């Protein structure tokens, strides 16, 4: 079964195959659809989402899938049904693939008996593999390589599944990833660098929002003070290298981790990342349904 739960499910070769397919979905394979009359996919989002949910849906519809969106509040989860029984039910009634986001770290460990592929759309502060793939595609398109890149990820590292997945993949691919932000949000084993130094050093400056829904809070500091101390201000932007880019998984809290005017600044790739999300998700769905990577190299 071709599930994608963490970046460790993919070899470096698998990563490049997915990125190659994603690029081809933007060129010669734009109209490619799954050669199956009934590819039933269910999107089970137990946490709020805009980008991941609806870019998966866009990708699924472009691929010719039949898609249903599950709403926990009006399902039998409200009567106490477990995640396993919910997933097992979708499998039993004929769905072929599940996309799941859940607040529990590694929720997928309790779904090992499910035989249909599961694509992880985010587990707590654990993993966000398709966000990582779209980040990789954005960097690959920009720099033509994924090794020897210098990446700083700044902000609420402790609660960030994006930080975890990106570190895992980028380091394995031969890039250097450092972290910056408030000391209380550092993570053991995550190398730190002073943010003012890092913005001058980095090829990629990736900003993260404060994940208040996971209990993150900075006491006694206004948004403006947080921006000045830890965020990407216009002054720091001016000190980035000419070729460097800004990334952000979004949603953005404008005026907190990033100056609002920088969200669509020349160096920003924030909305490009979102477009790339649809392409990599098409590639991941194709893989989930057992189709091999395209042979054409892009």
Using CB under 6 A as the binding rule, whether residue 150 contacts ligand CP is answered as no
Q: How far is the CB of 296 from ligand CP (least distance, A)?
A: 29
Closer Cβ to ligand CP, 51 or 187, answer by number: 51
- Cα Dmax for the chain: 57
Going by C-beta distance under 8 Å and a sequence separation of 6 or more, which residues neighbour residue 7?
15, 127, 129, 132, 165, 168, 169, 172
Mutual orientation of helices 129-143 and 270-288 as an angle, nearest 10°?
120
- Ligand-binding annotation for 236, yes or no, is no
Contact 276/138 with Cβ under 8 angstroms? yes
Please give the size of the binding site for ligand CP, defined by CB under 6 A: 10
What are the two backbone dihedrals, phi and then psi, of residue 192, each rounded to the nearest 5 degrees?
-110, 160
Give dist(CA 92, CA 179) in Å, integer: 44
Positions in 106-125 near ligand CP (CB under 6 A): 122
Q: What mask, x for binding ligand CP by CB under 6 A, covers residues 32 to 61?
A: -----------------xxxxx--------
Which residue in the set 17, 20, 43, 131 belongs to the binding site for ligand CP (CB under 6 A)? 131
Structure tokens at 58: 């866009």
Q: How far is the CB of 51 from ligand CP (least distance, A)?
A: 4
Structure tokens at 267: 């160096």
Closer Cβ to ligand CP, 23 or 53, answer by number: 53
DSSP 225: H
Q: What mask, x for binding ligand CP by CB under 6 A, covers residues 246 to 285?
A: ---xxx----------------------------------
Closer Cβ to ligand CP, 24 or 138, answer by number: 138
The vertex-279 CA angle with 293 and 295, nearest 5°, equals: 20
Site of tokens 């590292």: 157
Q: How far is the CB of 198 from ligand CP (least distance, A)?
A: 22
- Ligand-binding annotation for 248, yes or no, is no
Closer Cβ to ligand CP, 57 or 91, answer by number: 57
Q: Which residues bind ligand CP (CB under 6 A)?
A: 49-53, 122, 131, 249-251
């Amino acid at each position: 079964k071709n599930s994608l739960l963490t970046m460790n499910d993919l070899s470096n070769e698998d990563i490049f195959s997915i990125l190659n397919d994603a690029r081809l979905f933007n060129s010669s394979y734009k109209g490619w659809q799954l050669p199956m009359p009934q590819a039933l996919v269910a999107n089970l989002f137990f946490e709020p989402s805009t980008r991941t949910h609806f870019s998966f849906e866009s990708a699924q519809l472009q691929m010719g899938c039949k898609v249903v969106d599950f709403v926990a509040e009006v399902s039998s989860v409200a009567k106490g049904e477990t995640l396993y029984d919910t997933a097992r039910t979708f499998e039993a009634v004929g769905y072929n693939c599940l996309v799941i986001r859940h607040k529990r770290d590694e929720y997928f460990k309790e779904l090992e008996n499910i035989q249909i592929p599961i694509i992880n759309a985010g587990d707590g502060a654990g993993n966000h593999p398709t966000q990582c793939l779209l980040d990789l595609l954005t960097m690959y398109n920009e720099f033509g390589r994924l090794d020897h890149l210098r990446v700083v990820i700044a902000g609420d590292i402790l609660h960030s599944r994006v930080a975890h997945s990106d570190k895992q993949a980028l380091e394995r691919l031969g890039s250097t990833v450092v972290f910056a932000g408030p000391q209380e949000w550092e993570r053991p084993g995550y190398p730190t660098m002073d943010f003012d130094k890092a913005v001058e050093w980095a090829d990629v400056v990736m900003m993260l929002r404060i994940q208040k829904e996971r209990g993150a809070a900075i006491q006694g500091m206004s948004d403006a003070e947080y921006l000045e101390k830890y965020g990407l201000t216009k002054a720091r932007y001016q000190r980035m290298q000419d070729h460097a880019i800004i990334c952000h998984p979004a949603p953005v809290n404008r005026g907190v981790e990033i100056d609002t005017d920088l969200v669509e600044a020349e160096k920003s790739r924030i909305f490009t990342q979102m477009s790339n999300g649809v392409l990599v998700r098409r590639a991941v769905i194709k893989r989930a349904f057992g189709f091999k990577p395209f042979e054409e190299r892009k």
